Structure 1
């Protein structure tokens, strides 16, 4: 049996027929997708407790994904988040076992369970890596934000949050956290982490995802109401904060599940419960590319470090409750064409406020 991914040949859950269908994606919902910053290595976290890794090769527009490893959280507790170290040698993860764990790529951990480097009193919803200090940051449903040195079991810093963490993101020295109650807190992580600012989300309903701008001047936040807020933490000439509607079809409103910025162009993708992927340009306030809707919700997505590969999960996100479960879990990799994601000179289809 081949271990390489193959084009889905008309798979209704793929964006295009040529997208690579990643083998062995797991047996339950996919919570997160992350690329190594140094190589085309893709990692997923799953509700079946698995942390899976693939080596991805791209040549002449053809993509192949080969399973490389799988480790599991204690008692197969769901994995809710993951991130890479700056050198790409380690993967950090958090989940429903309330643990922050570290997996060294290429090494089999005891009992196939990654080493625990930290803990919360409730499930860990978000993890990130701070390159300048080599610290791991974790946010939990215990309303705590904790900073970890991989060499010791006690946190080197703890912040109390106003509510449970729903998502967090780190880019360079900017850390942004979205919690229940529509709170958003930004931290400056140059030197000792410190709170930079806090505000109420510009969106009216529950935050679902948050992502830093590639230039660290602000963040994008998505909510269950099918809107995205673009917010600048500092004044940028000619640019202002705003919000726009997306992932809506007629009178139906769908959650924005993930926001992924392109590392080169500064444009970004949104994925949602409507099974749609859109590419956007925040600076010119326009949609760059709208793919046809797939037949299953899309919970997460990510661009690789070069920006030429876009991984997205096709997996039920429970947005329709337990009575309308969409069976099956798949991961696809789309070969990104430059004209799909780069900024255009002319304004095309604009945002809806």
Structure 2
């Protein structure tokens, strides 16, 4: 019997696994500026910075074809990758799409999937330039690589926040998670009674947040128009609290977040209450909102204070002051991150 130690991937988790496997990675080209550890890798080509991000969506893990239409799935696959490019304060230019699919998918079904891909490419003004297609013995897998450009003056990493920077988030939070709860409930009712019709009319916003998320490229363009370069940034894919922790870790800072500043849509709030879920828990830990979380210098506050889609939710402070949330009652409690766990 072998004495070789076996470590389960679940012991490390997604980010621990990435840190472990990449600890001995070396760069051999001077053009590589940033590798593993941010929303996208960064390479210097001439006067431009090229940013590249890859994301994989796996059936049964990231999506359920019993309730997500293929057209929406194609759109979402592009949007979530464009969101990573946006999080680097860059502009997406090209995407590649690779598929692994089982024989249950017809040509007609794939045409619908690719229609969603084309719609997203049109919406974000990106070129679909290639990819790969292969067979799968179990379901559908979609891997998208997005390529964008920016400059050294505008590139934004997770590591640039400074003490007293303002913490901001776009849009609203928790909707995608609540939408998922609605879809899962309707699926279970359908499995029990295949004659039933899904009751989704009451939840258009939250269901839409789950099925067809939108990358916030408009915010990147608007910040540029305002002359604002965030000091750090990340997209909200695994839950707000988890993403805040990433900014804290990479910038070596702590944070204070104000509970009463968390932006939550009325439909999200009411639907969470219907499911007996705390709306703040949805906002902090739900994930898949694909909003942008970023920090700004204090002097930039005047430029964004009246922006309807940018919300100030806290500030960065010294690491020894911890990662805390100030409750509505004024109490200070540790901020908990319980976002999506891949393993």
Question: For the superposition of Structure 1 and Structure 2, which TM-score range results when normalised by the shorter chain?
Answer: under 0.3
Higher helix share: 2
Higher strand share: 1
TM-score (normalizing by structure 2): 0.25
TM-score normalised per structure 1: 0.25
- Which of the pair has more CA radius of gyration? 2
